[in-house]
Amino acid sequence: MIPNFFSKSVRKRVQKKYRVSLARTYKALSSASVDALWQKMTDLADVSWHPLLASTNVPKGLVAKPGLIYQAITRSILPIPIQIFVEQVRPRELLSVRIITLPGLEERVTYKVESTVCGTQISYSVTLRGWLSPLIWSLIRSSAARVAAQLADAAEEKPLLR
């Protein structure tokens, strides 16, 4: 007879074995102001700078607020509609969203903006969880690496409009 505590420890080990989580942070420096970067990042209707998103269904001028759910279309060979949920917003500092695409995949994206001596630093963090995350990561890795740099370039090109 196998003791009960043994079966629980084996079950926990098996559950932990199949949990997959991938996290990566990309950073870029920009000469644009924090306000210009924040405006570009929170203008949800304009994703022309984003290498992973082609368009959104957000009306022009609507900015990110916690609890907002909107739809976007991916830039890929096969455009996929995805749902994006805005989790947290700290003005001119942090924007956190959760991306809902497929069952078996949870994606969280965080943008951070901070002023430094060398300019303004943008951090783009991606966390993928679920059994599909290795496959999805292999597909989006190269584009995800360019997001922070392209946001910095887009903010430097377009002057602050407010």
Model pLDDT for residues 93-125, shown as the tens digit of each residue: 999 999 988 888 889 999 999 999 999 999 999
Domain boundaries, the chain: 21-157
Class of the CATH domain delimited by 21-157: alpha beta
Percent of the chain with pLDDT over 90: 52
Residue 109 vs residues 24, 26, 125: alpha-carbon distances, Å: 10, 11, 6
Average of per-residue pLDDT across 3-14: 50
pTM over 0.95: no
User: 47 near 53, Cβ under 8 Å?
Assistant: yes
User: 51 near 75, Cβ under 8 Å?
Assistant: yes
- Would you state the pLDDT for residue 10? 47
Model pLDDT for residues 50-62, shown as the tens digit of each residue: 999 999 999 988 8
Average of per-residue pLDDT across 148-153: 92
- Would you state the pLDDT for residue 20? 76
